[in-house]
Amino acid sequence: MSIAKQLFYRAASLTPVSFLQKAAARPLLLPYQHLVSDREVPYISPIYPFKDRKAFAQDLDYLLRHFRPVTLGEVVRAMKGGDPLPKGAFLLTFDDGLREIAEIVAPMLQAKGVPAVFFLNPAYLGNKTHFYRFKLGLMLDALRSGTVAASARKAAAELLGAGEEGLESAIQGIGWRRRALADELGGLFGLDFEGIFAKERPYMDHGEVEGLVRAGFSLGGHSMEHPYYQELTLDEQVAQTLASVDAVCGQFGEKERVFAFPHSDEGVSRAFFSRVLEGEGAVDLIFGTANHQADIDPRILQRFNSERPDIPIGDCVKGILLLEALRKASGRNLVTRS
Ligand SMILES: [Zn+2]
């Protein structure tokens, strides 16, 4: 984390949370994360860090001490003009549908009676096809553990047009349109993706998701295949979005039609939102990752990342509320959309 960011969190952490709650523009706290695990996950750990059970349990205790959990149904009704949310409300959301949700996260939430929404990529449920970024994660893991031959590193760097010292960031930077490179590079590195993913089972299967529904949790779409929306045409964005919401509602009987952007919603146009929020098969709510900024429609809710293990949720919450209050005071709390 940069020094400026560290200072910001430090300043925020010294401010009482009750003061920040009053100053913030929005009454609803919206953290997002992906998984909780006590082990290194070889296809994820090299891409982003996450919390362990102990840190997550502490986060839940903090949230329950200072805020009130609400369900997706309550949020949908409130945003559509129904009953307002209780003061200091929070809604937990988890993206991607990883197997740690069924094995670790959901049981911990159930034990404390906390509702949550799980946003799923239907293409990957059941682990028959694999997310290309998890292949990149395995490559980074292999590079860092020193198991890749020098000749393979050289060939990979050449293929990506990078120097050998820039190989890791070149791998990290492979976008959706160039995703076929993941298999090509995997071959160079001698990685058996099918074998590894069959053993690791990164995503939940159908039965595990049904278990979440039986336990009272909510589901949403997160695109079919988790592309970068910035690389898609408008028609592709709309198709990925609506197909994922239709799949989640159709296969698991979820009544609320909600969607969370994969990666980021930055640069997504007004035309996308009018196509997805209006007409037949419209989505009820859309969740983004733009740190609680207000968006062009009250049905678009911006969340913040609460997954970084070096920031306890208390500091994260105070940071986001302070940021929101400062943005509101300076009149700059609105996402820009063309
Ligand atoms: Zn995601």
269 CA distance to ligand 1 middle (Å): 20
| pLDDT band at 173; cut points 50, 70, 90 | very high
| Same structural domain, 259 and 165 | no
Q: What is the pLDDT of residues 174-221, one digit of tens each?
A: 999 999 999 999 999 999 999 999 999 999 999 999 999 999 999 999
- Residues with Cβ within 5 Å of ion ligand 1? 95-96, 262
| pLDDT band at 32; cut points 50, 70, 90 | very high
pLDDT top residue among 2 and 298: 298
Who's near 195: CB < 8 A, 6+ residues apart? none
Residue 108's pLDDT is what?
98
| Same structural domain, 19 and 106 | yes
| Same structural domain, 28 and 176 | no
330 CA distance to ligand 1 middle (Å): 31
10 Å CB burial of residue 226 (0-12, 13-18, 19+) is: buried
Whole-prediction pTM value? 0.93
| Same structural domain, 16 and 124 | yes
| Same structural domain, 65 and 124 | yes
Residue 26's pLDDT is what?
54
| pLDDT band at 24; cut points 50, 70, 90 | low
- Domain of 299 in residue numbering reads as 3-129+202-329
Who's near 91: CB < 8 A, 6+ residues apart? 28, 29, 30, 69, 70, 71, 72, 75, 115, 116, 117
CB atoms within 10 A of CB 171: 23
| Same structural domain, 53 and 183 | no
Q: What is the pLDDT of residues 277-286, one digit of tens each?
A: 998 899 999 9
| pLDDT band at 4; cut points 50, 70, 90 | low
Assign residue 38 the CATH number of its domain: 3.20.20.370
Residue 192 belongs to some domain of the structure: yes
Residue 66 belongs to some domain of the structure: yes
| Same structural domain, 185 and 277 | no
221 CA distance to ligand 1 middle (Å): 10
Residue 226's pLDDT is what?
98
288 CA distance to ligand 1 middle (Å): 11
pLDDT top residue among 262 and 316: 262
